[in-house]
Chains A and B, each alone.
Chain A
Amino acid sequence: MATVSMTVNGKKVSADVENRTLLVQYLREKLGLTGTHVGCDTSQCGACVVEYNGEAVKSCTVLAVQAEGATVKTIEGLANGNDLHPMQAMFREHHALQCGFCTPGMVLAAVDMCNRYKKLGKKLDEKAVRHELEGNLCRCTGYHNIVKAILAAAPQLGA
């Protein structure tokens, strides 16, 4: 067992975990942040994507003990109070979610995609969005509206 402390959604948190505990389990089981989902056991689906020290990371690929001192943002911390983040708002506007299970990871991956393109001074187009979504599976939407939503949010996020 080890005590692991980090900053999650702006709050300092701490919990005792087994060495094998994954970051996603820490978030879900120790902190009750169940918005981050587990859709597979091979790091393929992307349902568990969170913002980890400023970058999108599959939280099933990080051990909780590795995350000591890290800054993490989950889907619960993305909106500003009742104001949805532009990516969340565009997902709603374009019906880019159905069952909602892949959505938190999808939204955080999309935000990260925009951040990276903004840094590079590049603009996203449909081909780039589809390629960038390689790490996230959705079984409901056929991706059509997810791509539309990301392309609608991207200019608002400088990408």
Chain B
Amino acid sequence: MAAAAVGAAIRRREDARFLTGSGTYTDDINRPGQTYMHIVRSPHAHARIKKIDVAKAAKAKGVVAAFTGADLEKDGVGGLPCGWQVKGKGGTAMIEPPHRVLATDKVRHNGDPVAVVIAESREAARDAAELIEIDYEELPAVADMNAALKAGAPAVHAEAKGNLCYDWDIGDKAAVDAAFAKAARVTRIELTNNRLVANAMEPRSAIGEYDRATGGHTLYTTSQNPHVIRLLMGAFVLKIPESKLRVVAPDVGGGFGSKIYHYAEEALVTWAAKKIGRPVKWTADRSESFVSDAQGRDHVTRCEIALDQNGTFLALRVSTLANMGGYLSTFAPAIPTYLYATLLAGLYRTPAIYCEVKAVFTNTVPVDAYRGAGRPEACYLLERIVENAARETGLDKAEIRRRNFIPKSAMPYQTPVALQYDSGDFVRNMDDALKAVDYPGYAKRKTDSEKRGRLRGIGMATYIEACGIAPSAVAGALGARAGLYESAEIRFHPTGTVTVFTGSHQHGQGHETTFAQVVADGLGVPMENVEIVHGDTDKIAFGMGTYGSRSIAVGGSAIVKAMDKVIAKGKRIAAHLLEASVEDIEFKDGKFRVAGTDKNVDIAQVAFAAYVPHNYPHESLEPGLDESAFYDPKNFTFPNGCHVCEVEIDPETGEIDIARFDAVDDFGRIINPLIVAGQVHGGVVQGIGQALLEHCVYSADGQLVTGSFNDYCMPRADDVPSFTVATNEGAPCTHNPLGVKGCGEAGTIGASAAVLNAVVDA
């Protein structure tokens, strides 16, 4: 028996192709007869479209066709759907204005698409786009949320009075008011959680293709969830049944949330490919990504925490404005509600919490989930106010947390804001992090910095996130218009190799390695015999995709469930081959054994018997060894941890140097520690980016100021340090078969708060 694969730092199998330039990203694909689409986008943040004339462009050299929204409407093309219905105070439905694939009446943000040109080459399409005449009537625009809510502000959508999408709340307001009334002390804070651009290194791309012989459409796209795109685009936009629509998401160069959503360009290339009878390709320029990929964060929040004389938290009161941008992106309404406010208990026993959220339309690019999605906003808010409270009460920043942590013994713990945490050892994570950072030695390091004329600060962030989304029944009750399970199929082939089909999608996470580790151990076969297949709706039965750190928790659990079925069937075949009763067959390390004897048969032999069933229990079993499963999680998973950052600041220039960053995370059981550490490193740098470098800026009238890598400050190698990261596996998830919690977003969630707390401390 080979050493266990799970838990080992196995080098990634996908690296071989990426390191040699053999990966296949969407823009690397070229289809016979392919044409190129260029999209004409609004230069205005808000304008009425009086007239669009594409006639000259359509006749230009090399042009195949030019289309506007009117052409789409003639064909009955629907708007881009929103996947989540949030009900506001008193059950009021959110305002859900139409989101046309190409704008016809008004443009509502810089970059809103209005027309397309399709040509024999990228260059010809781009040249011809210059010939499209659009008569805009510019309208006053509004980018700032407070301005958008003021009486007389420009209306982004006629349907949304006062630019309000919804006014939602959660928690027990009366209990919170009562607690504040008797509080010994109240700490207050007002915070902006700044807007970010996800900026996966691969710009979005899409290729549409239509097969006249079968009536089938194929869409190649840079997506984190090809089945979701098939569902949304097929059912709501183009009205193509699933059986006639294949969506392929091949190698995808990073997502961070921005490639979850169904975008206009996917519908455009799919629709146009049939219209012109040739494949149509579109690939974004980076400048185009800045105005067409959904952006992240953008909250403005007022928060108060009530404490007793010992520093115990009595109640939390939060009021947040959340920017939706010009339209509702696929998951947008859920982010500042169910993925934000439900996390406001954090790691603390705060008995009463009330949060209200107003979602606001503005003339800016739509906002949706970006790595962490709501949870970094919650963590940032809580951890900033907790350190302020520590300063005001004179308590040590670790001590105030320690006094308020939910103890391990209290698990499962029901928070006052809907979630039930299943596991976690928050004290241990913090103690480990403080040890890693040498907390007692901090005073000396601060003195040393001061001797060199530098300010020094230390900041912490403890966090908990709800991942592994989600129990479908819960998601449905909260307004999700889809289930959030995952699917898997395991084909055990006659000669002993195994193909695993998963609805999860990898775009950097290394599933081809980690999932193979799980299957190699589970079925007792060599890892090199296991192949992981993902990203193609024609190959995989169904899938909800990869986001919210859900792949191993939900996708991995579906694989375990399918393996259980393979083993159950294998036992019945083995019982026949070994002439024993099924109840007496045990499965371990790839062998079926008659309990208490040395009679056994290898799983590969069982598979061979299943496909060459000469000696087979035909009366009770079908041939073949191919099983599939859907897994719908029982609860969310709750990764948590403690991040500590030390900064040194040059008081003359304000330059901030991150002197050290230590993270201790509880992700439950670890499948591959190398990959997990990599996820934390990347997440932490995105968090540092938000704290110190990145900021998406609009002018007051909605022009995007930071629209390129020259203007938007991406973290570079010399902006950040190396890190120490560690994990605690002492409190695994209690409700999924692998005990895993997910690790994709944690770094981003903890880092921004830890860094800014350190800066404030300095």
Q: Which A positions have Cβ atoms within 8 angstroms of B?
A: 18, 20, 28, 33-42, 44-45, 47, 74-76, 78-79, 84, 88, 91-93, 95, 97-104, 107, 126-127, 129-131, 133-134, 136-148
B510-561 contacts to A (CB < 8 Å): 510
Q: Which one of B360-368, B431-439, B457-465, B674-682 is at the A interface?
A: B674-682
Question: Is B285 an interface residue, CB under 8 A from the partner?
Answer: yes
* Contact among B16, B17, B717 for A129, CB-based, below 8 A: B717
> Is B15 a contact partner of A47 (Cβ separation < 8 A)?
no
- Once bound together, how far apart are the Cα atoms of A73 and B227, in whole Å? 38
Query: Given A37-B253, A92-B15, A99-B252 in contact, is the A133-B723 Cβ separation under 8 Å?
Result: no
- B683 contacts across to A, CB distance below 8 A: 142
Residue picked from B15, B25, B510, B677, most chain A C-beta under 10 Å: B15
Q: How far is the CB of A154 from chain B (nearest CB, A)?
A: 15
User: Roughly how many angstroms separate A147 CA and B710 CA in the complex, as a whole number?
Assistant: 24
23 A-B pairs, CB-CB below 8 angstroms?
Answer: A34-B21, A39-B286, A41-B286, A42-B709, A44-B714, A45-B201, A47-B201, A76-B21, A78-B20, A95-B11, A95-B674, A95-B678, A97-B18, A99-B18, A99-B251, A107-B19, A133-B716, A134-B717, A137-B201, A140-B678, A141-B681, A142-B723, A143-B715
Q: Are B19 and A88 in contact (CB under 8 A)?
A: yes
Please tell me if the beta carbons of A103 and B19 are within 8 angstroms of each other in the complex.
yes
Nearest CB on B from A7, distance (A): 17
Contact B508 A144 (CB under 8 A): no
User: Quick check: B681 and A137 within 8 Å, CB to CB?
Assistant: no
- CA–CA, A40 and B123, complex, Å: 17
**Distance in angstroms between the alpha carbons of A20 and B127 in the assembled complex:** 12
A14 smallest CB distance to B (angstroms): 19
If A100-B253, A133-B718 are given as contacts, then 14 extra A-B residue pairs at C-beta distance below 8 Å, sorted by A number, are: A34-B27, A34-B28, A37-B201, A39-B203, A40-B709, A75-B20, A92-B12, A99-B254, A99-B507, A99-B508, A100-B14, A103-B18, A142-B685, A145-B678
User: Whole-angstrom distance between the alpha carbons of A101 and B25 in the complex?
Assistant: 8
Q: Which of A33, A98, A137, A148 sits near B509, CB closer than 8 Å?
A: A98
CA distance A35 to B678 in the complex (A): 23
A101-B201 in contact (CB<8A): yes
CB of B709 within 8 A of CB of A44, answer: yes
6 smallest beta-carbon distances between A and B, as pairs? A35-B21, A100-B18, A101-B253, A142-B685, A99-B508, A98-B508
A79-B20, A97-B15 known; A143 vs B253 contact (CB < 8 Å): no
A-facing residues in B11-45 (Cβ within 8 Å): 11-12, 14-25, 27-28
From A134, A139, A148, B718 is in contact (CB under 8 Å) with A134
Alpha-carbon distance between A38 and B26 when the two chains are bound, in angstroms: 12
Given contacts A35-B23, A104-B21, A134-B718, contact A144 B200 (CB under 8 A): no
Judge if B202 is at the interface, Cβ distance under 8 Å.
Answer: yes
* CB contact under 8 A between A37 and B25, given known A100-B14, A141-B682: yes
B interface vs A, CB < 8 Å? Answer: 11-12, 14-25, 27-28, 123, 199-203, 251-254, 256, 285-287, 507-510, 674-675, 677-679, 681-686, 708-710, 714-718, 720, 722-723, 747
Residues of B within 8 Å of A100, CB to CB, are: 14-15, 17-19, 23, 251, 253, 508
**Contacts A95-B678, A99-B252; is A131 near B718 (CB within 8 Å)?**
yes
A99-B254, A134-B717, A142-B720 known; A41+B201 contact, CB < 8 A? no
Q: A36 CB to closest chain B CB, in angstroms? A: 7
A78, A126, A137 interface centre (most CB from chain B within 10 Å): A137
Q: A92-B12, A137-B709, A140-B508 are in contact. Are A76 and B202 (CB under 8 A)?
A: no
Distance between B651 CB and nearest chain A CB, rounded to angstroms: 23
Contacts of A131 in B (CB 8 A): 717-718
**When the two chains form the complex, which single residue of A37, A41, A143 contacts B720, counting CB atoms closer than 8 Å?**
A143
Known contacts: A42-B286, A137-B709, A144-B722. The answer to whether A95 contacts B253 by CB under 8 A is no
Specify which chain A residues have a CB less than 8 angstroms from the CB of B675 in the assembled complex. 95
How far, in Å, is B743 (CB) from chain A's closest CB? 12
Out of B203, B714, B717, name the residue touching A133 (CB < 8 Å): B717
- List the B side residues contacting A139 at CB < 8 Å: 199-201, 254, 256, 682, 686, 714
Complex alpha-carbon distance, A148 and B285, angstroms: 31
Q: Which of chain A's residues have a CB closer than 8 A to the CB of B286?
A: 39-42, 45
Check A93–B201 contact: CB distance below 8 A.
Answer: no
Minimum CB distance partner of A131 in chain B: B718
Q: Hey, which chain A residues are within 8 Å of B18, CB to CB?
A: 97, 99-100, 103
A38 and B285 alpha carbons, distance in the complex (Å): 9
How long is the Cα–Cα vector from A114 to B674 in the complex, in angstroms?
A: 25
